[in-house]
Amino acid sequence: MKLFSEGHFLKGVAVIALSGMLLSVAGCGKTSSPTATEPAANQEAKIGVISFLSGGGAAYGEAIKQGLDMAKEELNAKNKIKINLLYEDSRGEKTDAINAANKLVNKDSVVGIIGPTLSGEMFAVGPIVNGAGVPIMGTSTTAEGITDIGEFVFRNALPESVAIPSAVKKAVDKYKLKTVALMYSNNNDFAVSGYKTFEKAVKDSGLQIVATETFADKDTDFSAQLTKIASLKPDAVMVSSLYQEAALVLKKARELGIKVPFVGGNGFNSPQLMKIAGTAAEGALVASPWFPAKDDANVKKFVEAYKAKYNKVPDQFAAQAYDALYIMSAALDKSGSATDRKKLRDSLAGIKDFQGVTGKFAFDAQRNPVMEATVLLVKDGQFTEFK
Ligand code: 1QQ
């Protein structure tokens, strides 16, 4: 099934061997002419979206929906295959995500699925959707092992295995860290995976871990864990959780006099972190492929259009979702069909040269993104580039 091995891809041999299959598209409006069968005009592609649209992490899902809706409008104004997005709210719950996936696959007969939002949800629905032969692409699922679920599973979310080590390295270099405390939510698959990545990254950097403290999703009281951490005086604290818990951890930590830098995982990448934590979020670090102030024409155009439509700056989740629909649409066009799931899968797997708002993008042989992270620092309530 694989189009070519990772070795080939890394050596760049594939670029020559498969140049006929390459696809070059640009976010904000430009797609190359399809190289396969020219799609008939006005076919409709039904794409299911499973998203965290209500409950404690709904800001992630809302951003994702806004990014997708904006991309859909732009794409439908010019492309032959028209996209219809069928939204299902999973509330961040595995059982709801499974029900949504079954409905989209069996009842709505979607050609592909975008989502779900959380890695834990993807671990629950991925095997079902993959087994049904429906391509599914996570735009925010960053845990280890997501695409190992199967060959129909893709993601354009930057994996924590790439993001976390780059944030840790920058923090270590800049702040000359020697000791750290780790904290994570132990009933969230993404957070547990991120914790393991943090642990490896800090050990690789030669740091000493003075404490490892856990909590659960929806917890609101972190005083016991943070009182212990305060007494151990680490040089930094690393937190793997969604924004709600992360923001409350930051608030409590500052209250207890813990002034050191906090390094977060992908859960930190929502403006909700600053909204809930206020000034307690100052100094938090996180790696992301998205930086809205980037000096890049595509990024500027997207940020302006998004601001005009939604009256706010797009966050990472909006940007990755926006790119994801462009990637899906380019793959649909290239497959020449609005309904053939297998053709869409194979076409997606061939995306190698996509220029999106989150940068230059390709799927590697394991259907993970090849893209770069920027380390961001919360300063004056904004994500700024950490230099
Ligand atoms: C995951 C994540 C979350 C932060 C998405 C909202 O990265 O679950 O994988």
pLDDT in tens, the chain (387 residues): 333 333 333 333 333 333 333 333 334 443 444 444 566 667 999 999 999 999 999 999 999 999 999 999 999 999 989 999 999 999 999 999 999 999 999 999 999 999 999 999 999 999 999 999 999 999 999 999 999 999 999 999 999 999 999 999 999 999 999 999 999 999 999 999 999 999 999 999 999 999 999 999 999 999 999 999 999 999 999 999 999 999 999 999 999 999 999 999 999 999 999 999 999 999 999 999 999 999 999 999 999 999 999 999 999 999 999 999 999 999 999 999 999 999 999 999 999 889 999 999 999 999 999 988 999 999 999 999 998
Establish whether residue 141 lines the binding site of ligand 1, counting it when its CB lies within 6 angstroms of any ligand atom. yes
Statement: the pTM of the whole predicted model exceeds 0.85: yes
Residue in 142, 147, 153 to alter for ligand 1 test, most ligand atoms within 8 A of Cβ: 142
Q: How many Cβ atoms are within 10 Å of 208's Cβ, its own excluded? A: 12
Relative to beta strand 369-370, strand 374-379 is unpaired
CA separation for the pair 145, 150 (Å, rounded)? 10
* CA neighbor of 332 nearest in space, from 126, 66, 83: 83
- Centre of ligand 1 from the C-alpha of residue 121, in Å: 10
* CA neighbor of 52 nearest in space, from 8, 94, 105: 94
CA separation for the pair 166, 340 (Å, rounded)? 39
Establish whether residue 143 lines the binding site of ligand 1, counting it when its CB lies within 6 angstroms of any ligand atom. yes
List alpha helices for 41-159, DSSP H. 58-76, 94-102, 119-131
Establish whether residue 142 lines the binding site of ligand 1, counting it when its CB lies within 6 angstroms of any ligand atom. yes
**Which atom of ligand 1 lies nearest, measured to the CA of 138?**
9
Establish whether residue 286 lines the binding site of ligand 1, counting it when its CB lies within 6 angstroms of any ligand atom. no
